[in-house]
Structure 1
Amino acid sequence: MYRVIGSGNSRARRVIWMLEELGLPYAHVPAPPRSDDVIALSPAGKVPVLIADNVPITDSTAILTFLADRHGHLTHPAGTIDRARQDSLTQFLLDDFDSALWMAARHGFVLPEALRQSAIQDSLKCELGRSQKVLMQRMGDGPFLMGAAMTVPDIILTHCGDWAEAACFPITEPGLGDYLARMRARPAYRRAQAV
């Protein structure tokens, strides 16, 4: 059984959702970042941490990719053109969505108050709006980002959409709003939200 360490309102939710989609058993340990339990497994103190075969794996995207590859679901096979496209989309989401939201969080409450730059929020909202337009051009024809099959980037984007809305970053593209509503209706997503 897998063990997921990290608070439910962190990127650990991505991992929990993936495990729910895969129908795999897991235990959730809701430890906060930089707690002693987390630092013992991840020297940087970051969550989530997945314990697989008694080995800690860190970074939510690495964990999602590991689980998808290991269980042969929610991914395209390594070495294929579809996998290259999937990885490209994953990197785009991390670079353009996740990083903007993380920078906003850092300047909103993570950094010591003397180091926070509140004016950065407006430029980050502008960048996220621009990124949404680019994303709409990259989306496939199916209900998921890459078309007919759900993949790792769908979990990352939906989590970023949730994070954006919680941080009052507007979702400006109607197609993205529709996509997020479809993803949030998934039973596995709802189960992960309840954890």
Structure 2
Amino acid sequence: MYKVFGRLQSRASRVLWLLEELEQEYEFVDVGPHDPQVLEVNPSGKIPVLVDGDTVLTDSCAIMTYLADKHGAFTHPAGTPERAQQDSILLALVDEFDALLWTATRHMFILPEDKRVPQIVETSKWEFDRNFQRMGERFRGPFLQGDKMTIADILCGHCMSWAKGFDFPMNSETLRAYGKELRNRPAFQRMGALAEN
């Protein structure tokens, strides 16, 4: 059984969502960064952390890639053009969605108050929306690459929920409708129900 360390309101939710999609058993350890339990398995103290037997993995995208490859689902086979396109979308989302959301989040409430720059939040919102519209133009439907849902869709769905929570503009009707469909998936609903337990 897998063990996942993290908070539901963090990048750990991406890993939990994928595990639900894969219908894998897992234990969720609800802890924040630098918790003693996290430090035992990851000296950097960062979350999420996935433990699979003797293997300890960090970084949500690396964990999702590992799980998708291991179970042969929610991914395209390595060495194929489809996998290269999937990786291209995944990396674009990390750079153009996730990085901007994380930068804005830090300047909203994580950094010491005297280190926060409110203008960075506004610039991040503008840049996020520009990138969001571009991803909407790239969208094939019903998922990012077409008929097959991949880990890129989970990353995109998580980032959209994050953006919605912080009132980021998302001016693409296509992607907003797609995000709603993702949030209606049974696996997403089961992952979200962890907050009630």
Take 1:20 and 1:120, find their aligned partners in 2: how far apart are those partners? Answer: 35
Take 1:139 and 1:39, find their aligned partners in 2: how far apart are those partners? Answer: 39
Query: Paired residue for 1:183?
Result: 182
Say which SS state the counterpart of residue 147 (structure 1) adopts: coil
Alpha-carbon contact 2:133-2:170 (below 8 Å) kept: no
Indicate yes or no: 2:88 matched with 1:54: no
RMSD: 0.8
Compute the displacement of 1:42 (Å): 1.6
Take 1:132 and 1:22, find their aligned partners in 2: how far apart are those partners? Answer: 27
What TM-score do you get using the length of structure 2 for normalisation?
0.96
Alpha-carbon contact 2:7-2:30 (below 8 Å) kept: yes
Query: Paired residue for 1:85?
Result: 85
What is the number of residues matched between the two proteins?
194
Which piece of structure 1 moves more, 37-46 or 75-84? 37-46
Say which SS state the counterpart of residue 119 (structure 1) adopts: helix
Indicate yes or no: 2:142 matched with 1:143: yes
Equivalent positions of 1:1-195 (< 5 A) are: 1-140=1-140, 142-195=141-194
**CA deviation string 1:76-97 (max 9, x = no partner):** 0000000000000000000000
Take 2:26 and 2:43, find their aligned partners in 1: how far apart are those partners? Answer: 23
**CA deviation string 1:119-167 (max 9, x = no partner):** 1111111101110121012111x31111001001000000000000111
Take 1:114 and 1:37, find their aligned partners in 2: how far apart are those partners? Answer: 31
Compute the displacement of 1:54 (Å): 2.5
Compute the displacement of 1:29 (Å): 0.1
4+ runs of 1 displaced by more than 6 Å? none
What TM-score do you get using the length of structure 1 for normalisation?
0.97
**CA deviation string 1:1-59 (max 9, x = no partner):** 00010011111100000000000000000010111211222222111000012321000
Identity %: 45
Return the letter of the residue paired with 2:104.
A
Say which SS state the counterpart of residue 56 (structure 1) adopts: strand
Say which SS state the counterpart of residue 4 (structure 2) adopts: strand
Which piece of structure 1 moves more, 83-92 or 164-173? 164-173
**CA deviation string 1:57-87 (max 9, x = no partner):** 0000000000000000000000000000000
Return the letter of the residue paired with 1:81.
P
Which piece of structure 1 moves more, 156-165 or 43-52? 43-52
